Amino acid sequence: MSKPIVAIVGRPNVGKSTLFNVLAGEMISIVKDTPGVTRDRIYADCTWLNSRFTLIDTGGIEPDTKDIILSQMREQAEIAISTADVIIFITDVRQGLVDSDAKVADMLRRSGKPVVLVVNKVDSFAKFMPDVYEFYNLGIGDPVPVSAASRLGIGDLLDEVVKHFDEQEGDDEDDDRPRVAIVGKPNVGKSSIINKLLGENRVIVSDIAGTTRDAIDTVIKRNGTEYVFIDTAGLRRKSKIKEELERYSIIRTVTAVERADVVVLVIDATEGVTEQDAKIAGIAHERGKGIIIAVNKWDAIEKNNKTVNEFSAKIREILSFMPYADIIYISALSGQRLPKLFDHIDVVIENQNLRISTGVLNEILMEAVAMQQPPSDKGHRLKIYYMTQVAVKPPTFVLFVNDKELMHFSYTRYLENKIREAFGFGGTSLRFITRERK
């Protein structure tokens, strides 16, 4: 199931980043251990009660002249409308209702998206409540008073947000067709790949009923199977500011990856693999999605019999956190090896959904433990009683042990390798949870 996406929109200085940090920092479940990936606060994984969602902050560089403020806010709102399931529109009780708030509220209302109107900086309800009522004039529902700085009203705000999730359920869920996101830096050839696939296969115009997103997905039928290629065309922006472009690119990636089963990370052969590729790859890895690394523009470089190996070695070095992902060398221009992409997608989906019985897992565990003793500390040795698979997409294993503190990540890595030796699990990350059983 894909997690809902919640976007924050609002004028400069109303408290977007403060609210973002409160929501992300307190109800966190951030996966911190993706090496090589610096986390910027553009998105975060949040949990409230039984709901999990991805929060994105659409606000980038803060402009200071009035006319730019409005055009930037329109852009933010457009991004939110085209990607989010629920939009948090944040205003400031101290500045009161201003003209640009009304204009953005109009846009949001017309989009038909669920909007939660937040009035921030209500540090004292007694003092500021009378000023909150004015915000009813925006015509986008009841204002929710909060103080992000003193963490007042945050629970009520989250209740309002998650209420909208229920209305939306079943959007992607009814659909069991494989969902594929093509991601990568600008100009690596993402659109060219889709276009080439479109040219060579049967195309069905998107017919996903009741979709609340503006993005039009492309459905491609191959050998009797329909694949949904997630489209985020609405997010292709022409900002001149480099940081803004990168921000859009990250939001685009996060929101596409969130909805996907399988992510195709496209790398440009003519540029080689870069830290920016690692950042994008990290988003798919930490979300536990299936992944395929596709080196595109393979037609455009000089090759000899060492080129593939050298290229692959470099990718393994920079993307060291995902040794499980297959690498394929393609050309959107010539179509070389492009049909093979579907075979890879099929395999990755199968592996994401693979379930291993507890009996078989424990045979592997026993053998692994016999070959290499678990770690110990001050004469106290880790005992692993048994292991069981509790989830798929990604495959997740629980290890029951005597003392969690004794588990070392290198030993988890060792067990992971043993499981992979036996079952492969190519194209998918594996998760391990350690639980104590006294």
Interface with ligand GDP in residues 43-72 (CB under 6 A): 59, 62
By the rule CB under 6 A, 124 interacts with ligand GDP: no
Q: Nearer to ligand GDP by C-beta: 329 or 397? A: 329
Q: How many residues bind ligand GDP (CB under 6 A)?
A: 31
123 is in an annotated binding site: yes
Segment interacting with ligand GDP (CB under 6 A) among 66-74, 116-124, 319-327, 420-428: 116-124
Taking the complex as a whole, how short is the minimal distance between the CB of residue 105 and ligand GDP, in angstroms? 16
Q: Mark 279-318 with x for binding to ligand GDP (rule: CB under 6 A) and - for no binding.
A: -----------------xx-xx------------------
How far apart (Å, rounded) are the C-alpha atoms in residues 119 and 132? 7
Segment interacting with ligand GDP (CB under 6 A) among 145-153, 241-249, 302-310, 429-437: 145-153
83 is in an annotated binding site: no
331, 351, 389, 428: residue in contact with ligand GDP (rule CB under 6 A): 331
Q: Nearer to ligand GDP by C-beta: 10 or 290? A: 10
Q: Nearer to ligand GDP by C-beta: 72 or 331? A: 331
Query: Which SS3 state, helix, strand or coil, does residue 374 take?
Result: coil
Encoding tokens for residue 122? 């209500």
Burial 312-344 (b: 16+ CB within 10 A, else e): eeebeebbebbebbebbbbbbeeeeebeebbeb
65 is in an annotated binding site: no
Which residue from 346, 334, 184 is spatially nearest to 265, judged by alpha carbons?
184
Q: How do beta strands 51-57 and 5-10 pair?
A: parallel
157, 158, 183, 332: residue in contact with ligand GDP (rule CB under 6 A): 332
4, 5, 16, 254: residue in contact with ligand GDP (rule CB under 6 A): 16
Taking the complex as a whole, how short is the minimal distance between the CB of residue 193 and ligand GDP, in angstroms? 7
Sign for the pseudo-dihedral over CA of 269, 272, 276, 282: positive
13 is in an annotated binding site: yes
Taking the complex as a whole, how short is the minimal distance between the CB of residue 97 and ligand GDP, in angstroms? 16
Helix ranges, 84-118 (H): 99-111
10 is in an annotated binding site: yes
298 is in an annotated binding site: yes
Taking every pair of C-alpha atoms in the chain, what is the biggest distance, in angstroms?
A: 75
Residue number of the CB atom closest to ligand GDP: 189
112 is in an annotated binding site: no
DSSP states of 177-193: S-EEEEE-STTSSHHHH
Interface with ligand GDP in residues 158-217 (CB under 6 A): 184, 186-192
Q: Mark 68-107 with x for binding to ligand GDP (rule: CB under 6 A) and - for no binding.
A: ----------------------------------------
359 is in an annotated binding site: no
Which residue from 61, 107, 68 is spatially nearest to 245, judged by alpha carbons?
61
Sign for the pseudo-dihedral over CA of 41, 10, 242, 268: positive
DSSP states of 286-338: HTT-EEEEEEE-GGGS---TTHHHHHHHHHHHHTTT-TTSEEEE--TTT-TTT
14 is in an annotated binding site: yes
Taking the complex as a whole, how short is the minimal distance between the CB of residue 261 and ligand GDP, in angstroms? 21
Tell me whether the omega of the peptide bond preceding residue 323 falls within 30 degrees of 0, making it cis. Answer: no
Strand segments (E) across 50-199 = 51-57, 86-92, 115-120, 144-145, 179-183
Which residue from 241, 168, 123, 233 is spatially nearest to 5, judged by alpha carbons?
168
DSSP states of 328-372: EE--TTT-TTTTHHHHHHHHHHHHHT----HHHHHHHHHHHHHHS
How far apart (Å, rounded) are the C-alpha atoms in residues 65 and 29? 37
Determine whether 361 is exposed, middle or buried from the number of CB atoms within 10 Å of its CB (0-12, 13-18, 19+). Answer: buried
Q: How do beta strands 144-145 and 51-57 pair?
A: unpaired
Q: Nearer to ligand GDP by C-beta: 90 or 406? A: 90
Taking the complex as a whole, how short is the minimal distance between the CB of residue 32 and ligand GDP, in angstroms? 23
Q: Mark 217-256 with x for binding to ligand GDP (rule: CB under 6 A) and - for no binding.
A: ----------------------------------------
Q: Nearer to ligand GDP by C-beta: 198 or 433? A: 198
- Please state the residue numbers annotated as binding site for GTP: 10-17, 57-61, 120-123, 184-191, 231-235, 296-299
Binding residues for ligand GDP (CB under 6 A): 10, 12-18, 59, 62, 120-121, 123, 147-149, 184, 186-192, 296-297, 299-300, 331-333
